[in-house]
Structure 1
Amino acid sequence: MSIRVRMTVLAVTGLLVAGCTSGGSGTGTTTAAPSTTTPPSTADAKPSAAATAPALPASLTGQRPDWKRCAAPESGPRPGTEWRCATVKVPLDHAKPDGATIPVALIRKEARDKGGRIGSLLFDFGGPGASGVDILPQAAEEYAKLGERYDLVGFDPRGVVRSSGVVCRDDAEQAAAEASVDLTPDTAAEEAAYLADGADFGAGCARRAGTVLPYTTTTATARDLDLIRQVLGDEKLHYFGISYGTQLGGVYAHLFPKNVGRFVLDAVVDPTADTTGHARHQTIGFQRALDNYLKSTGQDPKAGTERIARLLRKLDREPLTVGERRLTEGLALTGIAVTLYGQANWSMLTQALEEAEGGSGRTMLQLADWYNDRDDKGHYSTQSHSQRAISCADSSERPTAAQAKALIPEFRRLSPVFGAFLAWDTAGWCANWPVKGERATPEASAPGAAPILVVGTTGDPATPYEGAEKMAEELGKGVGVLVTNEGEGHGAYGTSSCVTATVDAYLLDGKVPAYGKTCSSGAVRSGA
């Protein structure tokens, strides 16, 4: 398990929650204060990198998708008859556009109002590694109003499921690692096993997906998006990115600022944070959300946190038996984390904690399985495989075990529950990865782009609010338009009526809100 930018569906509540990763630069665990209502100062403008890749040949830009009835997904409901699927060819290596190609899978539901149609609206639901072909039909009701005037389009990014999806392990190997590897190693033997597991995972990716592995970067996917835009016949790219999808949106805006149409980034990844910065921000963000949960149940946050930390220490020594499986400390951390993605899940956290303290790990293990995409037959999705492949292709940083251990005292002070795990995660995630990463942090400056809505939620655990401030600043003055949602959870559209109305007005009518507009409990608090 890794608390990174993820997209998951909690079937019990029907709540759609996206992703995990980064966060802000704050050091406290209280709810972040909204930004000022003045735009950030203009940073030094950086030239777009759009021209650094050769032009695409007409054989690619002139493709016409063959839209057909969609096949049944591996899991979840079959898309309705109004959905159609197609495949677009993209260069494996955008530096060699006349070379080998790979498929990118698309799904589309055409706009209902043909006369008022604006164009295509592409979605990325996060991860990285989330399948838009699977998720968009399941989530489409949430975007029904947008579907009046947009063709709703989802896709599997390169390295994901139908788009040359990366596979690194089989189900048995994944289950064995999940059950045996300590995510917060305490001994030399546990450390060695933890690092060996990371290396083994990477070696499995290289064996099974070696051809595509060096080319799963967000930069390459952003270039794929621009090709998809052309193939769909749109002059501009209209885009809705959630969680990791905000990072993809920022990279696209930097590469192709003149092609930016109406863009929404919700639950925003901090583009300025490196590996350690992301881990630190998330440690703060998840503890912030945990404190808010504890306050909501009438508990003192410090005492409640220590109670949970005590339970985790006990599970580290003596996992709870659940049928033929065990609830380990790592799986319990996973189960706790997933409930913090939305306030509607908090009652499940209360139930899971009470049961675990009473000796039953069933509910907590069920929560962990939802996050880990494990079904009741023991089959796992490959989202975590794609997630790691994309993350490690993006990041050039490879922190060592010694560097991770040096972070533990600070991170434990920030969060006795999540700190040690997130400190170790900096070294375990991309250690001994078989391909080099692209850069330490992505580039998101987009001078000349149209206004982009950047929506941050003050209680977001996975992509803490401060990341939205950083993204708005990086995009540049007049481009990044910050919208603050005072509330809990990962992602605001569909949960805040105020944010939803603001986004709808922007996407459907082109109404750009004032920088710093603040929503709280469905109402506007400041801004215009």
Structure 2
Amino acid sequence: MPNRLSKRAAAVSAAAVLVSSLLTGCASGFVDGELSSQKLIWNNCPAPSASEGGGTAPSPLPNGGRWQCATMKAPLNWDDPTSGTIDIALIRVKASGPPSERIGSLIFNFGGPGGSGVTALPAFAQDYETLRTRYDLVSFDPRGVGRSAGVKCEDDQRLDAFFQQDETPDNAAELTAFLNSTKQFSSACQKHSGRVLPYVRTTDAARDMDLLRQVLGDKKLQYFGISYGTELGGVYAHLFPKNVGRAVLDGVVDPTQDPEQSALGQAKGFQLALDNYARDCTSKSTGCPVGRTPQDVENRIVALLKRLDAKPIPGIFPRRLTQTAATNGIAQALYSKDFWGYLTEGLQRAYAGDGEVLMVLSDALNGRDENGQYSNLIPANVAINCADEKPRYTPADVKAKLPEFRAASPVFGDFLAWGMLSCTGWPVAGAANHPNVSAPGAPPILVIGNTGDPATPYEGAKRMADALGKGVGVEVTYKGQGHGAYDSRNKCVQSVVNGYLLNGKVPAAGTVCT
């Protein structure tokens, strides 16, 4: 998400991991004696909560697979497990194949951070039907998300104003308003969720995941992580290398970058995706309705955003489409090539003074439904990122970096640069500059990079594979568009992943799918 609430590589230093590992070791008797032996009670799933995004209870899969939900107890503070517990919301659908061929549970994290796995897994489950032949498909709301001690900050009305504000200040007054809004948001998070904010780090979620492995009765963790889920998987492999079974990391976060480097990488990634969209649109024989050439498409978008900065247009009544909302909407449409048609329609209508389509896209990015109700996607995203990331930037830092960000992306550069202030003034200190994912002793882990990925640029896949260690990270390249690779339905990618997860066939490092 290319704004102050963007997905950036979280931060876990080697020192922090070492200390936490030692403390976890001291607490293992408690976990082994009590929490790891807990029995899960699986029942029919309720409708998702408001914090999970609302909606109706998940329907059975076409072949009759029935969704079941349960709650797992985990320590609030893994460094002191006796200080209390929190509930971790779980969902599963059992394997469809013969019991004799069942491997175990395949645990998913779909990214964010802040995304509800309890709602995401049913939404995408049909993409993983082949994997379900040998696995129970399992996901969860990570701590701080949804029904797992979900972080709450501002109410829906205040969030509407928060997402409408000018996030690219041009003068002292706009900067003051922007900083005040950030401070107000952080204070609201502390007021409503102060108890949980120190304990939503990625290392905490990784420990929850190992507890889940034990509670499910699996000797090894079989894992499929997407976007931020790749970071969670890498951190898990670092903490528990001997417990890793078969793991796939798809849409890979660069674990070597600090928040500034990650934001700059996203600026380049979203600009690349926009350039690819513009080339595709203008190459069609029917003509592109939003520009004659790729450069013309970009110039018109830049001009639109400039006009909206001065004068928003009608969006979804009573809200108006601001520069911020339009930028969010454009970014949302770049996550998948399937959305490019919506981007064309949204731009056409915005040029004619109608901001409805771009606002619908912006709302989707921010977790707002058509009734004006927000999930806790963004509060959780901020809380997890700020608990992980040590750097705290100043307006002077941003101003110094603006030329570099603008050079990377005339459309998204300012937006992502000012987004570096999202953790400034946060009530909890961040852990480190970037996560530690070194995992000597772990088995081969598939690391899949998409050359056209806007949110997790392709270069991060090689860096993740290298950081995991020799013989651990196995890089696979998909020459495509959009965020991630497996869900593109590319037959080569799916064949490689299915062969690995179902049959243990490790592809050759450097395998390329087109």
Q: TM-score, normalised by structure 1?
A: 0.89
Task: Name the structure 1 match of 2:467.
Answer: 474
1:334–1:367: 8 Å Cα contact kept in structure 2?
yes
Task: Give the distance between the partners of 1:249 and 1:134, measured in 2 at CA.
Answer: 20
> Residue type of the partner of 2:140?
F
Task: Name the structure 2 match of 1:93.
Answer: 77
1:251-290 residue pairs with structure 2 within 5 A? Answer: 251-290=235-274
Task: Give the distance between the partners of 1:77 and 1:499, measured in 2 at CA.
Answer: 32
Task: Give the distance between the partners of 1:487 and 1:355, measured in 2 at CA.
Answer: 28
Task: Give the distance between the partners of 1:107 and 1:266, measured in 2 at CA.
Answer: 21
1:4–1:130: structure 2 CA closer, same or farther, 3 Å change rule?
farther
2:111 equivalent to 1:132 = no
Q: 1:115 aligns to what SS in structure 2?
A: helix
Aligned partner of 2:175 among 191, 196, 212:
191
Task: Give the distance between the partners of 1:202 and 1:324, measured in 2 at CA.
Answer: 26
Aligned partner of 1:122 among 107, 114, 137:
107
Task: Name the structure 2 match of 1:250.
Answer: 234
Q: 1:446 aligns to what SS in structure 2?
A: coil
> Residue type of the partner of 1:152?
L
2:498 equivalent to 1:504 = yes
Q: 2:139 aligns to what SS in structure 1?
A: strand
2:48 equivalent to 1:69 = no
Task: Give the distance between the partners of 2:193 and 2:367, measured in 1 at CA.
Answer: 20
Task: Name the structure 2 match of 1:300.
Answer: 293
2:4–2:419: 8 Å Cα contact kept in structure 1?
no
Q: Deviations over 1:117-139 (max 9, x none)?
A: 00000000001011111111121
1:221–1:503: structure 2 CA closer, same or farther, 3 Å change rule?
same
Task: Give the distance between the partners of 2:411 and 2:219, measured in 1 at CA.
Answer: 48
Task: Give the distance between the partners of 2:279 and 2:122, measured in 1 at CA.
Answer: 36
1:433-452 residue pairs with structure 2 within 5 A? Answer: 433-452=426-445
> Residue type of the partner of 1:78?
A
Task: Name the structure 2 match of 1:372.
Answer: 366
- Per mean C-alpha deviation after superposition, the further-off stretch among 359-368 and 475-484 is 359-368
1:31-430 residue pairs with structure 2 within 5 A? Answer: 50-53=21-24, 54=26, 55=28, 56-74=31-49, 75-80=54-59, 82-113=66-97, 114-179=99-164, 181-298=165-282, 299-322=292-315, 323-427=317-421, 429-430=422-423
Task: Give the distance between the partners of 1:355 and 1:167, measured in 2 at CA.
Answer: 35
- Per mean C-alpha deviation after superposition, the further-off stretch among 228-237 and 302-311 is 302-311
2:9–2:434: 8 Å Cα contact kept in structure 1?
no
1:50–1:256: 8 Å Cα contact kept in structure 2?
no
Task: Give the distance between the partners of 1:236 and 1:50, measured in 2 at CA.
Answer: 19
TM-aligned CA deviation for residue 359 of structure 1 = 1.3
Task: Give the distance between the partners of 2:76 and 2:367, measured in 1 at CA.
Answer: 28
Q: 2:218 aligns to what SS in structure 1?
A: coil
Task: Give the distance between the partners of 2:343 and 2:59, measured in 1 at CA.
Answer: 34
1:320–1:327: 8 Å Cα contact kept in structure 2?
yes
More helix by share: 2
- Per mean C-alpha deviation after superposition, the further-off stretch among 342-351 and 225-234 is 342-351
TM-aligned CA deviation for residue 372 of structure 1 = 1.5
Q: Deviations over 1:226-281 (max 9, x none)?
A: 01100110000000000000000000000000000000000000001001100110
1:239–1:204: structure 2 CA closer, same or farther, 3 Å change rule?
same
1:454–1:483: 8 Å Cα contact kept in structure 2?
yes
Q: Deviations over 1:89-125 (max 9, x none)?
A: 1111111122211111111111122110000000000
Task: Give the distance between the partners of 1:49 and 1:449, measured in 2 at CA.
Answer: 19
Q: Deviations over 1:404-453 (max 9, x none)?
A: 111111111111100001111011x1010001111110000000101000
Task: Give the distance between the partners of 2:4 and 2:402, measured in 1 at CA.
Answer: 18
> Residue type of the partner of 2:46?
A
2:9–2:257: 8 Å Cα contact kept in structure 1?
yes
1:47–1:435: structure 2 CA closer, same or farther, 3 Å change rule?
closer
Task: Give the distance between the partners of 2:260 and 2:209, measured in 1 at CA.
Answer: 29
1:2–1:303: structure 2 CA closer, same or farther, 3 Å change rule?
closer
Task: Give the distance between the partners of 1:148 and 1:207, measured in 2 at CA.
Answer: 46
Q: TM-score, normalised by structure 2?
A: 0.91
1:270–1:254: structure 2 CA closer, same or farther, 3 Å change rule?
same
1:47–1:374: structure 2 CA closer, same or farther, 3 Å change rule?
closer
Q: RMSD of aligned C-alpha atoms?
A: 1.7
Q: 2:487 aligns to what SS in structure 1?
A: coil
Task: Give the distance between the partners of 1:169 and 1:162, measured in 2 at CA.
Answer: 17
> Residue type of the partner of 2:432?
R
> Residue type of the partner of 1:154?
S
2:4–2:418: 8 Å Cα contact kept in structure 1?
no
Task: Give the distance between the partners of 1:130 and 1:273, measured in 2 at CA.
Answer: 22
Q: Deviations over 1:270-324 (max 9, x none)?
A: 0010011001100100000111111112253333222211110001001002332
1:482-497 residue pairs with structure 2 within 5 A? Answer: 482-495=475-488, 496-497=490-491
Task: Give the distance between the partners of 2:281 and 2:34, measured in 1 at CA.
Answer: 60
5+ residue gaps, structure 1, are 7-19, 24-45, 521-528
Task: Give the distance between the partners of 1:456 and 1:344, measured in 2 at CA.
Answer: 19
Task: Give the distance between the partners of 1:59 and 1:67, measured in 2 at CA.
Answer: 19
Task: Name the structure 1 match of 2:289.
Answer: none
Q: 2:100 aligns to what SS in structure 1?
A: coil
Q: Deviations over 1:502-522 (max 9, x none)?
A: 1010000000000010000xx
TM-aligned CA deviation for residue 80 of structure 1 = 3.2
TM-aligned CA deviation for residue 22 of structure 1 = 5.8
| Percent of aligned pairs with the same amino acid | 52
